[in-house]
A and B are shown apart, each in its own frame.
Chain A
Amino acid sequence: MKPIAADRLLLEELVPGGHHWSGLLRRGSVLRLTDLQGGANVSTLFYHHDEKLERYNMPDTLKAQHTAYLTAGHTCHSDMGRVLCSIVADSVGWHDTWCGAVDAEQVRAKYGDTSFQQQRNDMYRNGRDGLLVELGKWGLGKRDLVANVNFFSKAVCDETGGLRFVEGHSRAGDAVELRFEMNTLVVLSTAPHPLDPKPRYAPAGVRLSAWRGDPVTADDACRTRCPQNGRAFANTERFYAV
């Protein structure tokens, strides 16, 4: 990953494992997620900030690009035929799009009971509630919770569709960079992946770094990856032109 020019830096923030975060990333900015300890999972959702009924759509994203996972060169499509963000760099190679966010009951069953009264901020947290808490801060709720991306996590399937979680997939220092093509509300949780078999609750923290990016060129790798992405960029430009 390239160093970030100090005069372009917009944001630098640590999100400990198990916590949650949300924020606005404007069109033209780039967000880098860095896995600090290895084995991070970042359950992430994207909403068009100006019209939150438009949001990341897992099936549209996968169908347009004939892929079942995300990596550099892929884009995250909205349900309105536009590009919310592009993955412009990735040292991991595979980010899960299938498995959703872990909920309170799954965390309790796998890792046991904790409470804030006893453990303070070391209590076990779950991705679904983390996402719902952040959504609530923007006037959104359960109805807005859709299938999310799980950055840094990999689950593969066999010929019958049976899933297997790949352990040790992301290592300390691995990173993925998202370039925003629309004004986007990013909502994320760093709670464990639902299929992570590790018996101990120890989700890794991530660093968020955002900066002002360069304009998208006509030969941009995400835009030219497939005709479908080219048309989604055209739709996005049409939206901002009118």
Chain B
Amino acid sequence: MVEKSRIMDAAAMNRALRRLATEIVEKNKGADDLYLVGIRRRGVPLAEHIRDKIEAIEGVRPLYGILDITLYRDDLSTVGANPIVNRTELTEDIEGKNIVLIDDVLYTGRTIRAALDQLMDFGRPKRVQLAVLIDRGSEHRELPIQADFIGKTVPTKQTEIIKVMLKEFDEVEAVGIFERK
């Protein structure tokens, strides 16, 4: 993969996450009922960052959980054999909660569909909203799914890949557009 352009550096990412945190708090009129759920892998540290920022803004630390959607994927037969299964950690009951699903990139919408299916197996939340750092644009969407909170919308070609790089997995903190080889 060759990086074509860098669309966010660490400072820009931080600003985008702070704005996402503010918008989530504003739309939900506070943070008392919020339950942030990060989608593995990169949605997890992003959810943690947003949680910290919400706490800094509101003085309330929202509930927090992790979803691994591997067992709910609809493409097991096309992605090749056995993607790695990781643990889902929803330690608090989701029944009646205001869930904010958090992921790094919104592309076809299939990951979010899988996450919604999984959430419903754990209970009946009051409401589910979606926050993503990057939205690749609705023209790529294969399902009727849109985000409620978007860090940055980046129209891309299908041959391109958006990679959100995080300290937890990569050496840098940045977002780049790469060309699929």
Do A and B form a real pair? no
A-binding residues in B (CB < 8 A): none
